[in-house]
Amino acid sequence: AQSVTQPDIHITVSEGASLELRCNYSYGATPYLFWYVQSPGQGLQLLLKYFSGDTLVQGIKGFEAEFKRSQSSFNLRKPSVHWSDAAEYFCAVGPPAYSGAGSYQLTFGKGTKLSVIP
């Protein structure tokens, strides 16, 4: 069965510092990969996604992520964090279209809570 591991439960960074959030997945093939952000009381917002092609993907709000097949990782990065980035971040995987699965739900990690020090 597929699984997603986000090893860091809580990360605190200073405003302006760089950020990297880790994500490792277990899957039988190369899945579709996603990063979502969730602010308190809000739904999940898609930051970026990877399906195929260039392994470095750009997203909204200045985020990027790099897919590394050999490490089964999809880490999220941002060069300079803003106070408004404080939120919870979720990595997720979904089956690729050719899998023939009956449905295409996302499997999420447990999330990493980001705190930003002014």
Partner 1 sequence: GAGVSQSPRYKVAKRGQDVALRCDPISGHVSLFWYQQALGQGPEFLTYFQNEAQLDKSGLPSDRFFAERPEGSVSTLKIQRTQQEDSAVYLCASSPGLAGASDNEQFFGPGTRLTVL
Neighbours of 90 (CB within 10 A): 22
Instruction: Compose the 39-78 pattern: x for residues touching partner 1 by CB under 8 A, - for all others.
Output: --xxxxxx--x-xx--------------------------
- Does residue 107 touch partner 1 according to CB under 8 A? yes
Would you give the DSSP letter of residue 80?
Answer: S
The alpha carbon of 11 is separated from its chain's Cα centroid by a whole number of angstroms, namely 14
With CB under 8 A as the contact rule, the residue among 33, 76, 81, 92 that binds partner 1 is: 92
- Strand, helix or coil at 99? helix
CB closer to partner 1, 5 vs 15: 5
**Residue located via tokens 């897919």:** 67
CB closer to partner 1, 45 vs 84: 45
**Residue located via tokens 């960074």:** 13
Instruction: Please give the structure tokens belonging to residue 69.
Output: 């097949």
Residues near partner 1 (CB under 8 A) = 4, 32, 36, 41-46, 49, 51-52, 90, 92, 94-97, 99, 101-111
